[in-house]
Amino acid sequence: MTGLWIPGFLAGTLFIMFFSWWLSIKEKRYHGIYRFFAFESILLLILLNARVWFKNPFSVLQLISWLLLTASLFVAIYAFYLIKSVGKPKGKFENTTKLVVTGLYKYIRHPMYLSLLLFGSGAYIKHIGYLTSVLMAVIVVALYLTAITEEGEMIRKFKGQYRNYMKKTRMFIPYLY
């Protein structure tokens, strides 16, 4: 594992940088800057906890971890489907032409970021420690800042329609936050 850690980190970081540039920053959508730190922290959690990823597969923490990781996958796939089918993106995935307010988006404004939060939590629970706790805190803060920044972008794009949507929905957790 030790021999693959640095190349894995470098390759992952280069991919995340390319993804952030290609999808958001190049298009002057600056929420991608904060999202970069969330992705980077998730990558570090995966690499730090790789040695215990499949250890004690039926322990309570492992089962909770796999539940969170699986939920993350379902939330991401469904949210992506809604963005593509309802949001009618023009060009890149993030460039929706219609505000999506159905499905998961009827209850929360940021299901894709919820998916990242669930994924990060699942990776974190694999092995809880000081460094992994710091990384999890970075994920939470980075996703919050990402969401706030993206909401500013959506207000500029969809104006009052998005402001009304914000009044009816929560940021990440239905009926709570």
Please check the confidence at residue 61 and state whether its pLDDT lies above 60: yes
Q: Check residue 25 and give its pLDDT.
A: 64
Question: At residue 2, does pLDDT exceed 70?
Answer: no
pLDDT at position 24: 65
Q: What is the pLDDT of residue 103?
A: 96
Q: What is the mean pLDDT of residues 73-89?
A: 94
Question: Using 50, 70 and 90 to split pLDDT, how confident is the model at 18?
Answer: confident
Q: What is the mean pLDDT of the chain?
A: 89
pLDDT band at 63, cuts 50/70/90? very high
> What band does 67 get if pLDDT is binned at 50, 70 and 90?
very high
Q: Which residue has the higher pLDDT, 97 or 27?
A: 97
- Who wins on pLDDT, 2 or 60? 60
pLDDT tens, residue by residue, 91-150: 776 778 899 999 999 999 999 999 999 999 999 999 999 999 999 999 999 999 999 999
pLDDT over 70 at 17, yes or no: yes
- 3-state secondary structure string, the chain? CHHHHHHHHHHHHHHHHHHHHHHCHHHCCCHHHHHHHHHHHHHHHHHHHHHHCCCCCCCHHHHHHHHHHHHHHHHHHHHHHHHHHCCCCCCCCCCCCCCCCCHHHHCECCHHHHHHHHHHHHHHHCCCCHHHHHHHHHHHHHHHHHHHHHHHHHHHHHCHHHHHHHHHCECCCCCCC
pLDDT at position 68 over 70: yes
Could you tell me the domains of the chain? Answer: 2-168 (1.20.120)
pLDDT of residue 136: 98
pTM: 0.88
